Amino acid sequence: MQTRLLASLMLMAFTAGHAAAQTPPSTLAEQQQALRNGSLSAQQLLQWYTQQIAQKNPQTGAVISLDPQAKQAALLADQQKNFRLPLAGLPLLIKDNIDAQGTITTAGSLALAENLKQQDAPVVARLRKAGAIIAGKTNLSEWANLRSTRSTSGWSSAGAQVRNPYDPARSACGSSSGSGAAVAARMIPAAIGTETDGSVVCPASVNGLVGLKPTIGLVSRTGIVPISHNQDTAGPMTLTVLDNALLLNAMAGSDPQDPVTRQADRRRSADYTKGLDKATLKGKRLGIVTNLSQGYDTDTKALFEQTLSLLKAQGAVLVAVEMPHMEAIEKDELPVLLTDFKAGLNAYLATTPSAVKPRTMADVIAFNQQNAAKVMPHFTQDLMEQAQATAGLRDPAYRQALARAKRLAGKQGIDALLKRHQLDALIAPTTGPAWPIDYANGDVIEGSASTPAAVAGYPHLTVPMGLVRGLPVGLSFFAGAWTEHRLLQLGAAFERARPALPAPVLPEAKVTAQ
C-alpha cells in the first residue's frame, strides 16, 4: 500500500513550471469564499494539499492512497466555474472502508487489496454532486477495530500505523484514525469517517477536531464495509462546526438501497448551517452525565471543570444526571455487533470483484491465518473468530439483546433523561487525551462517552474543549434522534466561547511506520 501511495503521489503531482501552491485558508468555509471570489483555484487548492500529504504522511501514516482522478476533477471545477455549488472545488479525504469509483477499498485489510470499485457509495456520490473533490483515502484501524480485543487503533495491514500529529508516539484513536490525523495535520481541510461506537468522535477528540456521528438513517451506508447495520454511519470530521454542517448538508438524505434511511429526506434539516452564527448557550439546559465523566486523570478533570464554568458563564443551565443501565447496555452491545459483523461482511464481500478471493468472513479468517506474518504481527483475530461463531440475525438471543440494548440506551436512557430534566442535550468528556501506541498492550483508553448514542442510534457531536499536557480533549453533546441541527448550534456557541486550539507541529524527523 505504501508503493500504491507513492504511485498516486506521482500521478497527482503537477507538472514542473506550474505556479507554486500558496498557503490557502484553513477551513472549508473560508476556502469556499476564496474560490467564489477568484482568489484561489481548485487546482491550487488540490496542489497545496497534495504537497502537504507528501510532506506529512511519513510522520502520520494518515493517507493510504490518493485518487489519480482528483487532478482532472479540479481542472474541470476551474473550467466550469460553478462555485455556487456548496462544496465546489473543495478537496476531501474519505475513510478507506467507503467505496469510490476507480479506487480500491481495503477496510485496512490485505484481504481486500484487489477490491477495485467501479461505482461510488451513495454518500460519495452526494459529495461529488455538491462539487467536492475526493482527493484520496485515509488509513484506519483494520476492519474498523473489530478484529481483536487487543487491537491497536490506527494499525492496519494495508496501511501500517496512523500516528497522532500532536505526538507521533501516541494514538490517533480509531477506527477513523487516518481521517482524524489527516485533518489535524492540515493535510486536508476535512474528511469523512465512519462510526459504529466511537470511531468518529474518539479520533476527532484526540486530534482536536469537530466530529459528528449522525442519527442512524440520516446518511446512507450502502457501499461502506460494514460492522453493524444497527449502529454504522458515516460522519464528517472537520476543523470547525460550520464546516461540519456544510458537509452534513451534502451527506444527509434517503437512499433506496438503504431502507433505514427512508425518513432521512423528511427528517433532515434543510440547511444545517442556518443559525450557527447566532447560536447561543444562554438558557440551554445541559445534562452533565456524571457516570460518563469519571475515571479521568487530574488534568482532564480540571479541563472539564473549567469547561463547565465556561458553559455557565455563557448562560447554560447545568444539571447533573446519570445515564442508567450502562452495564446492561455494554453487556448486550458486543454480541449484537459480532452477529451483525458476520452477516454484513458476508453480504458486502458478495458484491466485490472476482479478483477478491475471500468471499465470506470465514475466508477472511483463513486468509489472515495464511498471511499471519503480515496481517497479525501485533494482535490476532479473536473477535472475528467470535463473530464467525455467531448464530445469525434470526437467533432469538441476538434479537432479544438488540431490542433490550436499543430500549435501554434510547427510550429508557437518553430520551428519558432529556424528558425528565427538560434538557436540550447531554454532555460529558468525549474521551481522555491520546495514549502511547503500544502493540504489547493495545489501546489504553481513558473514559468514553460514545456508547449510549451509538447503541441508541442517536447523534453525537464532539467539539474540542482544550489541551491536556499538549494533547486535545473533546466535549461531547448528544441528544435524541434527528437533533443534529440542535447539537451543531450548541457546538457552534461553545466553539466561539472557548479558546481555539493550536495546530500540531510535526517534528522534522520522519517516523518509520511499523
Q: Which of 306, 237, 265 is nearest to 92 (CA)?
A: 237
C-alpha cell, 207:
486530534
Q: Which of 153, 175, 205, 254 is catalytic?
A: 175
Annotation marks residue 199 as catalytic: yes
Q: Which of 8, 109, 156, 199 is catalytic?
A: 199
Note whether 203 and 179 are within 8 A (CB): yes
Given the C-alpha cell 464528517, which residue does it identify?
A: 236
Helix (H, G, I), strand (E, B) or coil at 41: coil
CA–CA distance, 49 with 62 (Å, rounded to integer): 13
Burial of 36 (0-12, 13-18, 19+ CB in 10 A): middle
Given the C-alpha cell 479478483, which residue does it identify?
A: 355
Given the C-alpha cell 452495564, which residue does it identify?
A: 327
CA atoms within 13 A on the CB side of 127: 34
Q: Which of 95, 213, 284, 406 is catalytic?
A: 95
CA–CA distances in Å: residue 207 to residues 179, 261, 421, 511: 10, 30, 32, 18
CA–CA distance, 141 with 227 (Å, rounded to integer): 13
Rounded to the nearest 10 degrees, the angle between the axes of helix 42-60 and helix 2-12 is 160
Note whether 27 and 189 are within 8 A (CB): yes
Burial of 419 (0-12, 13-18, 19+ CB in 10 A): exposed
Note whether 488 and 276 are within 8 A (CB): yes
C-alpha cell, 493:
456557541
Task: Output phi, psi for 135, to 5 deg.
Answer: -80, -25
Q: What is the DSSP string of 305-370?
A: HHHHHHHHHTTPEEEEE--TTHHHHHHHHHHHHHHHHHHHHHHHHTTS-TT----SHHHHHHHHHH
Handedness of CA 219, 221, 227, 228 (dihedral sign): positive
Which residues, including other chains, have CB under 8 Å from residue 119's CB and lie 6 or more apart?
Answer: 99, 101, 223
Number of residues that this document lists for the chain: 514
Torsional class of 163: left (φ above 0), alpha (ψ -120 to 50), beta (otherwise): beta
Annotation marks residue 95 as catalytic: yes
CA–CA distance, 330 with 451 (Å, rounded to integer): 8
* First vs last C-alpha separation in the chain: 13
Q: List residues with catalytic annotation.
A: 95, 175, 199
